[in-house]
Amino acid sequence: MQYRVAWTLVTVLLLAPVTYAGGYALHTVKSGESLGTIANEYELSVDALMAANDLRTVTIHPGDVLRVPYVEAVGGPVGEAAPRIPPGFTWHTLSPGETLSSVAAGYGISVDALVGANPTISSLDHLPVGVDLLIPPREGLVVTLEPGQSLADVVSRYHVDPTEVARANHLRSPFDVQAGMMLFLPGVVPTKALSRLRKVRAAENRFIWPIHGRITSPYGWRNLGMGTSPFHRGIDIAAPWGTPVHASRSGVVIFAGWSNEGYGNLVRIRHSDGDETWYGHFSTILVHVGQYVEQGAVIGREGSTGISTGPHVHFEVHIHGRAVDPMTVLH
């Protein structure tokens, strides 16, 4: 069904104060109804009905939407219902072995879209089995309206088109905007949530694999010859030529270029605590000195430059200035 949202309705929605979801029933005025008949139907006084709707006269028209205060009508408060999910959304319960990436791929959406629909999730990589995820129909951000917050506040904060918001959320009446409701903002990037989750990921997975492949030479003593040191300070990870290599942790690039110590094309990244990761034998370097890179960012492509017997990445981890076995810290 297509929804036509008139500018007058959008304006009313923007200006309408937010009401508590559990405090009112909504009644659409039918032909022949009056305030008196509606008040009698709900066992209210006309004055209470007028006060709840800020009416100055008893004149109403078919199609008007009136708030009917439950407390007045039934003699006490009612419990709030769970927030209704936005139109076009569905729930997915995380099963064993599933990840955000696999769930997103299964629904044909991006991980960013999944984060936008679930901006309060605790992790990108370590969500518990059984957690319920909202699945959105497209990219955007889901926000929950707080008491006293209006649609105008949301539109102004996120710089979104009010007509698009009204259409995406099937808003037909100013009384559709209520505190506690989930509101979908199409096209809004979940910047804050993504930034927070990247920091969580960096803390959870201090060092991640720069590339996935076969380890052809471990950390430790070896007798390779070719003018190399008998002690191998990192691990060699083989993969097809040109495979993207990712930053194991976020940090600042302190070296990006040719090394005369056998590394060939080398990238070194210094992290916030002073630790470093080194990546050798690149065919192509894609970063420059002074550049800040996020964990997982592509920093180059695998190759076989320098002293190398075939395409691989030589990966070192330096903690407190000393090379350690990467296998003891990788996740």
CATH number at residue 189: 3.10.350.10
Residue 303 included in any domain: yes
Integer angstrom CA distances of residue 72 from 39, 79, 318: 11, 15, 69
Question: Averaged over 175-185, what is the pLDDT?
Answer: 84
CATH code for the domain in which residue 230 is found: 2.70.70.10
- The total number of structural domains that make up the chain: 3
Residue 107 included in any domain: yes
pLDDT in tens, 93-121: 999 989 999 999 999 999 999 999 999 99
CA dihedral 147, 148, 150, 154 (to 10 degrees): -70
Structural domain that includes position 35: 22-74
Residues 253 and 308 in one domain: yes
Residue 7: pLDDT over 50 = no
Identify the three-state secondary structure at position 300: strand
Residue 5 included in any domain: no
Q: What is the phi/psi pair of residue 278, to 5°?
A: -120, 140
Nearest Cα neighbor of 153 from 1, 272, 17, 306 is 17
Residue 98 included in any domain: yes
Nearest Cα neighbor of 331 from 191, 132, 123 is 123
Bigger pLDDT: 239 or 57? Answer: 239
Average confidence score pLDDT of the chain? 84
- Contact residues for 270 (Cβ-Cβ < 8 A; gap 6+): 251, 252, 254, 276
Residues 123 and 184 in one domain: yes
Quickly count helices (H) and strands (E) in the chain.
9, 20
Nearest Cα neighbor of 300 from 315, 313, 284, 289 is 284
Residues 249 and 320 in one domain: yes
Query: Of 185, 204, 223, which marks where a domain is finished?
Result: 204
